[in-house]
């Protein structure tokens, strides 16, 4: 078994990514997966990109790009593959991943459950679309029309930073 792993480290990296995505109830960004894998020096950035592309092409993970951030989710096929080959991921790597999630799950979830994106509407205005989700359920979903792109971008950035405060204010004022 050990021989196979050394011959094909890409397989191990793919299984690590699948294992990570299977551990969470929310999509993770490429940056979040990279932080873990590159931080532990399992592999380099280019190899990780290749791994993510191959997993996507094989439909083992799905990707969605929201405002320059790619969100990764495991698919049903990905889960099946992981169940079949999970024993190829060493217990120490699984422990590393589990510890990482124990320490960072709240931050990771918050980063992907708060989304701000903007686009040019048919009227020529810009629309900033702001969403806050918890376990896949929308808590807030707001669209604001503004005259220019810079304002729309600033609104999205501020939403990332201040969403909890804004949400609390809305609840206080509306309930």
125 DSSP assignment: -
Q: Which domains are assigned to the chain?
A: 2-112 (1.10.10.10), 114-174 (no CATH)
- Report the distance separating Cα 159 and Cα 134, nearest Å: 16
- Report the distance separating Cα 18 and Cα 28, nearest Å: 11
- Report the distance separating Cα 36 and Cα 96, nearest Å: 9
pLDDT, tens only, 140-159: 889 999 999 999 989 988 88
What SS3 state is found at 141?
A: strand
pLDDT, tens only, 57-83: 999 999 988 767 788 999 999 999 999
Which residue, 145, 156, 140, 142, is CA-closest to 120?
145
Q: Stretch 19-29: mean pLDDT, rounded?
A: 89
Single pTM value for the model: 0.68
């Amino acid at each position: 078994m050990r021989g196979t792993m050394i011959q094909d480290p890409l397989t191990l990296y793919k299984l690590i990514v699948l294992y990570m995505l299977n551990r969470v109830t929310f999509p993770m960004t490429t940056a979040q997966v990279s932080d873990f894998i590159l931080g532990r020096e399992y592999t380099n950035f280019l190899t990780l990109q290749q791994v993510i592309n191959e997993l996507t092409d094989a439909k083992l993970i799905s990707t969605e790009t929201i405002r320059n951030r790619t969100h990764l989710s495991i698919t049903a096929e990905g889960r099946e593959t992981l169940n079949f080959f999970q024993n190829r991921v060493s217990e120490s790597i699984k422990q590393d991943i589990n510890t990482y999630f124990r320490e960072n799950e709240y931050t990771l979830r918050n980063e992907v459950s708060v989304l701000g994106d903007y686009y040019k509407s048919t009227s020529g205005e810009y629309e900033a679309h702001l969403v806050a989700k918890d376990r896949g359920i929308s808590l807030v979903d707001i669209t604001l029309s503004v005259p220019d792109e810079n304002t729309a971008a600033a609104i999205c950035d501020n939403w990332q930073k201040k969403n909890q405060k804004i949400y609390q204010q809305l609840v206080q004022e509306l309930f």
